[in-house]
Structure 1
Amino acid sequence: MESIVVTHRAQLCQAAMKILGNRERADDVVHDTYLKIAEAGKAFDVKRPTAYVFQVVRNLALDRYRRQAFEAGLFAIEEEGAGVPASTGTPEALEISRQELGLMAEALDALPRRTRCAFELYRSGGYTQRQIAQQLGVSTTLVNFMIREALDHCRIALDRQ
């Protein structure tokens, strides 16, 4: 069967190129086909060896095409990231963020101490509502209400701006 790969190399490359759209990758697939067939040796009897070799090329080309499509979705081309703005933002955006942060701090300071504490533990401390309830000596339902009250209070403060 190795002789079939050598004899029909041009047709095999053409078949792989129809799937992959690239001559070099098609040559790689034909080479991989040769290696695969050579490794198998005469371990099995094939009734139509030419058709079998073409099917191996087709399967390997499809595998390569699927792998390329998968990798293209995972890895972005380096130049694609060149137009992305820096995460630090513009000076205007930084100033707006500072102003909003100041408004949030003022809004939290206006809340009752226990409500502010529950909100800060939940949002910044990563505590669960059950842990906060135990720490403050209240029910989890009350903690839920306090967190919602703090969120609403902060939203209203930002909307006023």
Structure 2
Amino acid sequence: MRTPGTAEGNAPLLEVFSEKRSFLIGLATRITGCRSHAEDIVHDAYLKLDSGSLSSTIKCHASYLVGVVRNLAIDHSRRRSREQRLIGDEDDSAAIGLVDPAAPEQQVADRQELDRIADALAELPERTRYAFEMCRVHGMKQKDIAERLGVSPALVNALIRDALIHCRRTLGD
């Protein structure tokens, strides 16, 4: 079993790596903003370089090492940003569903507004109300509503528009 750094082809590269280790950690720290993550990145770079036989094709070992560490650090930062964005989106979506128990007056106001909308819809002709509810409440496509009612899609569009105008007038918008 060979020990790290003893492969003949990688020896010059790994020697430069050990000489520049603190510089590489500093570089990765500047990119990631975290020394602990930077040390992990430099360690990953070492493992990556120690596993292959790249030394014969590399002209400038120091530049190559800086590039590898820099790319790994940038990839790490992007991955963490993406994770934070996703976690933030989940937190935002979870917060949307929460009702603030400290605002019962808002709940009453919302309930009153819903009652006014229900009353406004009850005033509409049955076909208009049906078209509006199927489209806006149940998410049905206007084409499908037209087939159910036996009318054209243009008429369904007009019925929905009329219901929406009536609701807006009723709410005072």
* TM-score, with length taken from structure 1: 0.84
Superposed CA offset, 1:34-55 (max 9, x none): 1010111357422222222222
Structure 1 runs of 4+ aligned residues shifted over 6 Å read none
Task: Please list every run of 5 or more consecutive structure 1 residues that lacks an aligned counterpart in the other structure.
Answer: none
Query: What secondary structure does 2:88 align onto?
Result: coil
Letter in 1 for 2:113: E
Aligned match of 2:61? 49
Aligned match of 1:140? 153
Q: Measured at CA, do residues 10 and 63 of structure 1 come closer, stay the same or move farther in structure 2, by a change above 3 Å? A: same
- The separation in 2 between residues aligned to 1:143 and 1:66, in whole angstroms, is 48
Task: Please list every run of 5 or more consecutive structure 2 residues that lacks an aligned counterpart in the other structure.
Answer: 1-12
- The separation in 1 between residues aligned to 2:96 and 2:80, in whole angstroms, is 28
Aligned match of 1:64? 76
Superposed CA offset, 1:3-48 (max 9, x none): 2222221122122222222211111111011101011135742222
Q: Measured at CA, do residues 72 and 45 of structure 1 come closer, stay the same or move farther in structure 2, by a change above 3 Å? A: same
Of 103, 110, 123, 2:136 maps to: 123
- The separation in 2 between residues aligned to 1:63 and 1:119, in whole angstroms, is 49
- Which stretch of the first structure deviates more once superposed, 8-17 or 41-50? 41-50
Aligned match of 2:122? 109
Aligned residue-pair number:
157
Contact 1:5 1:30 in 2 (8 A): no
Q: Measured at CA, do residues 142 and 76 of structure 1 come closer, stay the same or move farther in structure 2, by a change above 3 Å? A: closer
Q: Measured at CA, do residues 131 and 159 of structure 1 come closer, stay the same or move farther in structure 2, by a change above 3 Å? A: same
Letter in 1 for 2:107: L
Identity among equivalent positions (%) equals 41
